[in-house]
Amino acid sequence: MELDERKKKILKAVIANYLETGEPVGSRTISKYTDLNLSSATIRNEMADLEELGYIVSPHTSAGRVPTDKGYRFYVDNIMEEKEEIEEVKSSLLERVDRMELMLKQVAKVLAYNTNYATMVTAPNYRKTVKFIQLSQVDLDNLLAVIVVEGNIIKNQMIRVNVPLDNEDVLKFNILLNTFLQGAALEDINLEMIQAMKKQAGEYEVILDQIFQGIVEAIHEANELEIYTSGATNILKYPELGDISKTSELLETFEDKNELTHLLEKTINSESEDGIQVYIGDETPVQNMKDLSLVTATYKMPEGATGTIGIIGPKRMDYKKVVSTLKNLTIELDDIFKKGKGENTDGN
pLDDT of the residue at 1: 60
Residues 74, 8: Cα–Cα separation, whole Å:
9
197 close to 174: Cβ distance less than 8 angstroms = no
pLDDT of the residue at 93: 44
Three-class SS of residue 256? coil
Residues 291, 312: Cα–Cα separation, whole Å:
10
272 phi, psi to nearest 5 deg: -85, 175
pLDDT of the residue at 68: 92
Residue type, 182: Q
CA-based nearest residue to 211, from 170, 251, 239:
170
Three-class SS of residue 74? helix
CA-based nearest residue to 317, from 55, 111, 22:
22
pLDDT of the residue at 271: 54
Residues 207, 142: Cα–Cα separation, whole Å:
10
333 close to 152: Cβ distance less than 8 angstroms = no
Per-residue pLDDT of the chain in tens (348 residues, 90 and over written 9): 678 888 988 998 899 888 888 888 888 888 876 677 788 888 889 999 999 999 999 887 667 899 999 999 988 888 665 444 334 444 444 444 456 778 888 889 989 988 999 999 988 776 678 888 898 988 878 888 888 877 677 778 888 877 778 888 889 889 988 998 888 877 777 788 888 888 888 877 887 887 777 777 766 766 677 888 898 888 888 887 767 677 777 778 777 777 777 777 666 655 555 678 899 988 887 777 888 899 998 888 776 678 889 999 999 999 988 998 998 888 888 777 777 654 444 433
Give the E-state strand segments of 201-319 in sequence order: 227-230, 276-280, 292-300, 306-314
Residues 32, 16: Cα–Cα separation, whole Å:
13
Three-class SS of residue 132? strand
Alpha carbon of 128 to those of 33, 131, 218, 228, 321: distances in Å? 54, 9, 10, 20, 35
